[in-house]
Amino acid sequence: MLTLFSCFFFGEVNAQDAPRINDHNNNGWYMYFGDHKLSEKWGLHTEVQLRRYNVLKDPQQLLLRTGVNYYINPDAFVTLGYGFIETSPYGDYPAPDEFLEHRIYEQLQLKGSIGRIGLTHRYRLEQRWVESPLTSDYTYLNRARYFLKATIPVVGPTLDVNEPYLAAYEEIFIGFGNNIRQNIFDQNRAYLALGYKFSPAAAAEVGYLNQIVQKANGVVFERNHTLQVGLTYNLDFTE
């Protein structure tokens, strides 16, 4: 936590060397997530995110992510995976053209609880190859992410099938290594939603995401107000 705070602090200091520009956008993210157990120890992660600018009207980003899960125990698993991202120009300070990103990632995900509150911790490292929209050359970047999510049942002390729940998460992104410019602090996401558990395998959430993104120049800060609609469906092929 001290390292994350230091990176955030120094990123903010560097950004203050130039006048800060705030770019406010209204977005919509429509998402599917699935972690599917293939055996006692192994599984497959699947994920599709369609991100739109102006909530639904214009393209913003397409994200496809997959990975191989290894289950350490019922409350912990690690993943090695790949992500494909296509980003379109959007906002008042858009990229010159569409560009692609290819991403390898490693993560550890842990589950726990404090009383009625269910907790999910996710630690992720990313190796990113980001295309220049001007030259089509790729730049290699490293990034670390920490994600903490809490879920609280609305009815009763536990979250059961056919019951609603509240969800909230916070995630911070930190860039490091070569080719990082002013945005050591890359972005932060804060989220609040209402969810519903349809079955042991399926749940849906609708909520609000406040996303702050510092562009590479350290001057433009996106302030993205985002509608998030997500479906989680986890299949267990061992049953």
185-231 residue pLDDT tens: 999 999 999 999 999 999 999 999 999 999 988 899 999 999 999 99
Q: Domain count of the chain? A: 1
**Average predicted confidence (pLDDT) for the chain:** 92
What is the reported pLDDT for 11?
46
Q: What is the pTM of this model?
A: 0.90
Q: Is residue 22 part of a domain?
A: yes
Residues in the chain: 239
Please state the rounded mean pLDDT for residues 165-192. Answer: 94
Q: Which CATH number goes with the domain that contains 173?
A: 2.40.160.40
**Where does the pLDDT of residue 17 fall: very low under 50, low under 70, confident under 90, or very high at 90 and above?**
low
Q: Is residue 239 part of a domain?
A: no
Q: Is residue 15 part of a domain?
A: yes
Beta-carbon contacts of residue 136 (< 8 Å; ≥ 6 apart): none
Q: Which residue has the tokens 């639904």?
A: 56
Percent share of the chain, pLDDT over 70: 92
Q: Is residue 144 part of a domain?
A: yes
Range of the domain at 99: 2-233
- Does 3 have pLDDT greater than 80? no
Q: Is residue 146 part of a domain?
A: yes
Q: Is residue 48 part of a domain?
A: yes
* pLDDT-wise least confident of 3-17, 26-40, 105-119, 160-174: 3-17
- Does 2 have pLDDT greater than 60? no
Q: Is residue 68 part of a domain?
A: yes
- Does 59 have pLDDT greater than 90? yes
pLDDT tens per residue across span 68-117: 999 999 999 999 999 999 999 999 999 999 999 999 999 999 999 999 99
Please state the rounded mean pLDDT for residues 18-46. Answer: 95
